[in-house]
Chain A
Amino acid sequence: MMDLGYNTLLVATGAGLLGIAAGVTGAFLYLRKRSLVSDAISHATLPGVALAFIFMVALGGEGRNLVGLLGGAALSSLAGLAVVQWLTRRTRLGEDAAIGAVLSVFFGFGIVLLTVIQTLGAGRQAGLETFLLGSTAGMLRADAIVIAVGGALTLLACLLLRRPMTMVSFDAEYAATQGLVPARVDMGMMALALAVTTIGLKIVGLILIVALLILPAVAARFWTERAEVVALLAGVMGGLAGASGAVLSALAPDLPTGPIIVLVAAALFTLSLVFAPERGVLAGAIAYMRFRRQVHMRQGLLALAHGHRVHESYSRRLLGRAGLIRADGVVTDQGRRLAAWAARDERRWSYLRSRPEGAALAARYDGLTPIEDLVTPDQLRALDDAIASDGAGPQARGRVPEGRS
């Protein structure tokens, strides 16, 4: 903490608040499937930054005032957003095409303006290119405060709008019957994205801010099936990425802040992708392997019960490891017992599934769950009695005799 210093702490606080605001806002954008709109918004800020600089210089100022530059950024990204909306609503272009067009045109225009500024007054260009990738070097205390306050206000707005945004994202028609106007809620959501983008320009930069909006949200989605928890977790992860990224980039000289923050967010995403319970890749693989083992065990036991040879090597390994068959394939006593048990379970199921009165229970047949786990001992006894009295009935006759393939 000693060598971090007051300035780093200030920057880390600002970046943390920005990260929380970006995470929560991004969660709602993601739920509304509008994440990429924020990419158009962020790239559309560049001409605004450049024009604001030119304007402020023309007025005789220094041109570096952060609030002035961000104001310009907000205005031009608003124009970009309006063009995206117009193209999507009034023409046959899809939103993806509209985003692509607006993003590249505004960004290209911004780069041209930056070049013009460079040639105009070489000494005064004020490092506008740091808005591309973000930088905290030489950040003023006032700048950090602007960012922190902006982040906090955005967060507050998210809190207010969380239910309307959730409702519109899930079921816009129903939301409309509840007196919400989906188009207006969407506009509010876009305003939040615009706010996050603008206040994030200084720290993360316009090229990468979209990552801070998307990554925490998709990472959070792995952990929960509830929208409000997605938003909460995304906020936590975004804040973590923002604060720790800012500190990391301050530790080593010349490390750019924005990319480091994004890498931390990417690390959180990767961890979630792999390790999240239920939805994670690892959990999925484990569940699949367990299922495969159960299927092979069951099929192996039924084959033994019918006196078949077990051909599949995985089934044989499983049965062998459990001590149900010997290495030469001969069934052990234990194997015979379990095989008989599996065959009986299968008989109970097939009896149940052939009767209309068993339909409710039969719906839960998955070929693996023993029926004993689903019914009471009394019910089981009644079932066995019914099978016994029905034993030589039509069901049994059509069967392949046991022991033959």
Chain B
Amino acid sequence: MTQAAAMMSPLPSEQASAAVPLPLKVRGMTVSYGATPAVFSADMDIAPGAMTAIIGPNGAGKSTLLKATLGIIPRLSGQVEVFGQPLDRVRARIAYVPQRASVDWDFPTRALDVVEMGLYRQLGLLGRLTRQHRSLARDCLDRVGMADFAGRQIGQLSGGQQQRVFLARALAQGADLYMLDEPFAGVDAATEKAIIDVLKSLKDEGRTILAVHHDLSTVPDYFDNVFIINRSPVAAGPVATAFTETALQSAYGGRLATGLLDQLFPSAGPAPMPQPFPTLDA
């Protein structure tokens, strides 16, 4: 029940995090491709029972941060703690929804089989897939509105439907921390709604959601917290305090459409042109 207490405040204070370990705590993470750092010296605290968006410009290292956190790609330095423990101890409590591009679409597998892959870890090498497992997988498909497509080969589904199947696979794990890489990229409106509904219901169950997100205009509607990154963290915290025009401009530089800024921050008046800082890579 201390978890409920922690959920009250968007970002738990130091003493709360001492009582209940954070779902995710990253310290000093640097990830590089060759000698080019993609993420540099990132600290990240993810609050429990909330939805956090990782945002930042293209090439800012959003997906890299997520993947390195999960150990999909190696990190050069840094520590990751999940629920206060090293990653390998708590794999079962983390579910990952990859970007759709990472999958072999011609693979002989049906929507239901994909969801069942979410159960493979707990089945182990020899465990038998029982009728209970199968009906659990069906329930997960149902929850994302894909029950009618259980027998369809994965490549024959639309992009939005595929994304929903991957969310169902994550649901099958019954995890406490959900990490999603651009779940709304290139999906139809119906899928976007289905996904956000499921994520919100997960949050209501007290689970934690962390998503790489690209559409700034939906951030205030969908998320509680933001983590703004441009190779290194720029700002982090509740949307109300961290999702500011200043933070966005320093992360995105001149790459933000002023129309979007006006729409997000109507009271601020016309957005000033970003100051041309001398930068090394300019």
Contacts and interface: CB of A to CB of B under 8 A. Distances in A.
Interface of A: 31, 33, 160-161, 163-164, 166-167, 169-174, 176-179, 221, 224-227, 229-230
Q: Which 3 A-B pairs have the closest CB atoms?
A: A177-B96, A225-B153, A176-B72
Nearest to A181: B71
B113 A179 contact: no
Nearest to A32: B104
Contacts of A227: 107-109, 113
A179 B91 contact: yes
A161 B51 CA distance: 36
Contacts of B114: 170
B168 interface: no
Interface of B: 67, 70-72, 88, 91, 94-96, 98, 102-104, 107-110, 113-114, 117, 120-121, 123, 125-126, 153, 166, 169
Chain B CB within 10 Å, residue with most, of A161, A163, A174, A178:
A174
A259 B107 CA distance: 30
A179 B108 contact: no
B72 A177 contact: yes
B120 A177 contact: no
Given A160-B125, A170-B103, A171-B102, 11 more contacts: A31-B107, A161-B125, A163-B123, A164-B125, A170-B114, A171-B104, A176-B70, A177-B72, A177-B91, A177-B94, A227-B109
A221 B110 CA distance: 14
Given A167-B117, A179-B88, A226-B113, A174 B125 contact: no
A226 B108 contact: yes
11 contacts: A163-B120, A166-B109, A170-B104, A171-B102, A171-B104, A173-B67, A174-B166, A176-B72, A177-B94, A221-B108, A226-B113
Given A171-B98, A179-B121, A225 B91 contact: no
A337 B103 CA distance: 51
A230 B153 CA distance: 14
A51 to B, nearest CB: 36
A226 B153 CA distance: 8
B103 A226 contact: no
B108 A171 contact: no
Contact of A174 (B98, B109, B153): B98
A167 B88 contact: no
B108 A230 contact: yes
B149 to A, nearest CB: 13
A171 B107 CA distance: 10
A316 B108 CA distance: 42
A253 to B, nearest CB: 42
Contacts of A179: 88, 91, 121
Contacts of B70: 176-177
B121 A31 contact: no
A178 B120 contact: yes
Nearest to A161: B125
Nearest to A224: B108
A167 B71 CA distance: 16
A171 B103 contact: yes
Contacts of B107: 31, 169-170, 227
A273 to B, nearest CB: 16
Chain B CB within 10 Å, residue with most, of A31, A178, A179:
A178
B108 A174 contact: no
A82 to B, nearest CB: 21
Nearest to B122: A178
A336 B130 CA distance: 57
Contacts of A229: 108
Given A174-B96, A178-B91, A226 B117 contact: no
Contact of B72 (A31, A163, A170, A173): A173
Contacts of A170: 103-104, 107, 109, 114, 117
Chain B CB within 10 Å, residue with most, of A166, A173, A179:
A173
A7 B91 CA distance: 53
Contact of A160 (B67, B108, B126, B166): B126
A226 B110 contact: yes
Contact of A163 (B71, B91, B95, B125): B125
Contacts of B72: 173, 176-177
A398 to B, nearest CB: 29
Contacts of A169: 104, 107
A33 B121 CA distance: 23
A163 B96 CA distance: 18
A357 to B, nearest CB: 15
Contacts of B123: 163
B282 to A, nearest CB: 30
A274 to B, nearest CB: 19
A172 B98 CA distance: 10
Contacts of A171: 98, 102-104, 117
A225 B108 contact: yes
Contacts of B67: 173
A308 B95 CA distance: 61
A163 B117 CA distance: 8
Contacts of B103: 170-171
Contacts of A225: 108-110, 153
Contacts of A226: 108-110, 113
Chain A CB within 10 Å, residue with most, of B67, B70, B108, B109:
B108
Contacts of A173: 67, 72, 96, 98, 102
A340 B245 CA distance: 63
A31 B88 CA distance: 27
A230 B121 CA distance: 22
A171 B105 CA distance: 10
Contacts of B110: 225-226
Contacts of A161: 125
Contacts of B96: 173-174, 177
Contacts of B169: 174
A60 to B, nearest CB: 45
Chain A CB within 10 Å, residue with most, of B88, B120, B126:
B120
Contacts of B108: 31, 221, 224-227, 229-230
